[in-house]
Amino acid sequence: MGHVLSKAIPSGQQAETQGQQSTRRPELASGERTPPTGVYVHFPWCTRKCLYCDFASSPMRQVPHQDFAEAVLAELQARARSLQGPRELSSVYIGGGTPSLWDPLAVGSVLSAVKAALNGRAVEATLECNPSGLTQTRLEGLLASGINRLSIGVQSLRGDRLRWLGRTHGPREAAQAVQLAVRVGFHHVSADLLFGLPGQPVCEVVADARCLVDLGVDHLSAYELTLEKTTPLGRWAKRAPHETAGENAVLRTYAALERAMKEAGLEHYEVSNYARPGCRSIHNVGYWRGQDYVGLGPGACGTLSCESTVRYRNTASWEVYRSTGWRSSDLARAGPDLPQVEREVLDPECRFRERLMLGLRLKEGIDVSAAATELGVVAWTPERRAALERWLARGGLCWQGRQLCIPHNSWRIADAIIADVA
């Protein structure tokens, strides 16, 4: 399909954008600003694997809370030594898996160490939650640990949909989790919704989104359900493709959801994300701006620019991750017997294409010339120039000053536009 409705978590961290929380970056002696760097911590366990999930996670009866924290701290120490020059921490995001299963005291110890290692102050610190088991005591502990933003995996407020997806919570638990998070004192609460489920009417998704806003969320991520081949639902879709949601239904839902969230006062700031003014996800905006980020934990990815730009992926095996000592030499290698299983040096042209692809997902688009100058590449090769002219003529792209943007009425085909131009 040519529309953009997938969950994109690419590579990077925060940027200071209009209408978004930000703090002034500290300056070096020369007056140059320190590079902002985000941190992503991957919690690899959940109580039960959802039927559509292909993330690096696995069910775990008993979480090794402190052992996991100590292993992450060991990786943080090794990576902090490898970073060249001072950096400023922009955001922390703990995802998974189900990080709300992690002991808040262990969460706090890791969060404190991350802030100390990367000159962190009052930064956005997000933790993903499953509504199941999200008690007041657990939420109060997370708030005390330094977490100041929650991302709650609601996915739907309909019991039959949740059961079909293999979720462990029901509609009442989801609504109560949002209300409780707001009441405990989290000023920033985000919710995830899935749409494009078989037979799902447009009005259902819109009603769920409006209900979540009324309950107190200030940020909504709405993604089309993607059925990966390796998942149980992916195998079902292969056997019964006629029962999956059609493209027209998905696009109608997307358009209706955008109208409803605008009426509710939420800005559609990225193709799949809505936020009240000042409540954008700083961490995810960093990904779309191409900012550096440190990935910590089994299965985590990171992208760091020092003398060159390196992208790495950690082993997804908890046993390998915890048993291999983190040494500086490990950070320059990759292999099945090392904590890193992948390591790739990104050339400037690759980084520019990614910057273009991700920047065009944002409402304000991207300053293409500035990105090309920063990376030392030619912005408009003959191929990119031809694609640019085609989409400008069709109205799929437009200029807003120096920024190249996809107009809102073309966001539903953003995937096709981005693939052609980048």
Cβ 345 vs Cβ 308: under 8 Å: yes
pLDDT in tens, 343-393: 999 999 999 999 999 999 999 999 999 999 999 999 999 999 999 999 999
Of the given ranges (5-19, 285-299, 368-382), which has the lowest mean pLDDT? 5-19
> Domains in the chain, please, with CATH?
36-287 (3.20.20.70), 349-421 (1.10.10)
On the question of pLDDT at 25 being above 80, the answer is no
pLDDT at residue 16, rounded to an integer: 28
Query: How would you classify the pairing of strands 188-195 and 219-224?
Result: parallel
Q: Compute φ and ψ for 24, nearest 5 degrees.
A: -70, 130
pLDDT at residue 17, rounded to an integer: 30
Paired tokens of 120: 């962190």
pLDDT cut 90: percent of the chain above it: 67
Specify the residue for token string 């409402």. 363
CA distances from 108 to 16, 44, 95, 267, 292 (A): 26, 18, 15, 32, 23
Q: What DSSP state is assigned to residue 101? A: G
pLDDT at residue 334, rounded to an integer: 87
Cβ 406 vs Cβ 412: under 8 Å: no
Paired tokens of 171: 């509609």
pLDDT in tens, 177-229: 999 999 999 999 999 999 989 889 999 999 999 999 999 999 999 998 887 77
Cβ 10 vs Cβ 358: under 8 Å: yes
Q: Which residue has the higher pLDDT, 135 or 1?
A: 135
Could you write out the three-class secondary structure of 31-44? CCECCEEEEEEEEC
On the question of pLDDT at 15 being above 80, the answer is no
On the question of pLDDT at 403 being above 50, the answer is yes
Tell me the sheet residues that pair with 59: 46
Alpha-carbon span 98 to 82, nearest angstrom: 29
- The SS3 of residue 340 is strand
Alpha-carbon span 367 to 323, nearest angstrom: 45
pLDDT at residue 82, rounded to an integer: 75
Specify the residue for token string 């980084």. 351
The residue type found at 296 is L
Alpha-carbon span 87 to 118, nearest angstrom: 6
> Per-residue confidence at 51, pLDDT binned at 50, 70, 90?
low
End-to-end CA distance of the chain: 17
The residue type found at 260 is A
pLDDT at residue 209, rounded to an integer: 98
Cβ 279 vs Cβ 22: under 8 Å: no
Alpha-carbon span 169 to 40, nearest angstrom: 26
Of the given ranges (8-12, 32-36, 146-150, 310-314), which has the lowest mean pLDDT? 8-12
On the question of pLDDT at 108 being above 60, the answer is yes
**56-86 CB burial, b ≥16 within 10 A, e <16:** bbeebeebeeeebbebbbbbbebbeeebeee
Q: Please give the torsion angle defined by the CA atoms of residues 388, 390, 392 and 394, in that order, rounded to the nearest 10 degrees.
A: -150
On the question of pLDDT at 20 being above 70, the answer is no
- Longest CA–CA span in the chain (Å) reads 63
pLDDT at residue 4, rounded to an integer: 37
The residue type found at 31 is G
pLDDT at residue 244, rounded to an integer: 66
On the question of pLDDT at 242 being above 60, the answer is no
